[in-house]
Amino acid sequence: AIVMRILVNDLIELAADWQQMLILLSVLSMAIGNLAAIAPTHLKRMLAYSAISHMGFMLLGIVTGVVGGDARYALNAYSSAMFYVVTYVLTSAGTFGMILLLARTGFEADNLDDYKGLNKRSPWFAAIMMMLMFSMAGVPFFVGFFAKFSVLQAVVAAGYMKLAIAAVIFSLIGAYYYLRVVKIMYFDQPTDTSPIEAPLNMKVLASANGLAVAVLGIFPQALMSLCAFSLLRSL
């Protein structure tokens, strides 16, 4: 919110300059992050590269906040960027939480191959992880889909159609490596068939995070309105 306030209130006369820099940074982040995340077989490394692409996508909202020195686009664009950040933090925290939770149960959770047939060993773990991956990939109707959609709406409204098309293409590339995790969990055969158990309190915490991703996907307007309200108070 502080960065957005500076751009709108203090640097609006230089909008043409910083917009071009942010557009370049956004496209490079989405390209490098998504392409680099395809190859790694280490899950945390894949998520680290994908974080770069998510930040590039978020920058699209900031880029379209001021068009031609006109701040009328600011609220919609910046609230979509904030909504995207909140959604990503929620989903990313849940994903890393699941990795740590699996590790604490004695399950090897570092490499993608470790997740082969996870559904057969723990349908609950697999279901929560699937919801988080679907949200990261932007699958309807999870909260990650609406986060991407709101940013794309702002980009199109600002007249950056080519930028929106590029963002969609990079999102499809990103969807590949997220859905690959789901495919491994549900369609590959596990090397170890022993069941995975976890303490109830950990299950409740992880379930709450997964449920939040699903519920906010059904009712995204509440979070979107909260983001817009917080920006109205700060801009």
pLDDT of residue 90: 93
Nearest to 163 by CA among 74, 56, 33: 56
- For residue 19, give its domain range: 2-234
Q: Angle between the 123-137 and 200-218 helix axes, to the nearest 10 degrees?
A: 30
Q: What is the mean pLDDT of each run of 10 residues along the chain (235 residues)?
A: 58 64 91 94 93 93 68 74 93 90 77 90 91 94 93 89 95 95 94 79 84 91 87 70
Structural domains in the chain (count): 1
CB proximity list for 161: less than 8 A, separation 6 or greater: none
The single residue listed with the structure tokens 């082969």 is 116
In 10 A of CB 34, how many CB atoms? 25
pLDDT of residue 78: 83
Which backbone phi and psi does 159 adopt, to 5 degrees? 90, 10
pLDDT of residue 129: 93
pTM comes to: 0.88
pLDDT of residue 228: 83
pLDDT of residue 126: 92
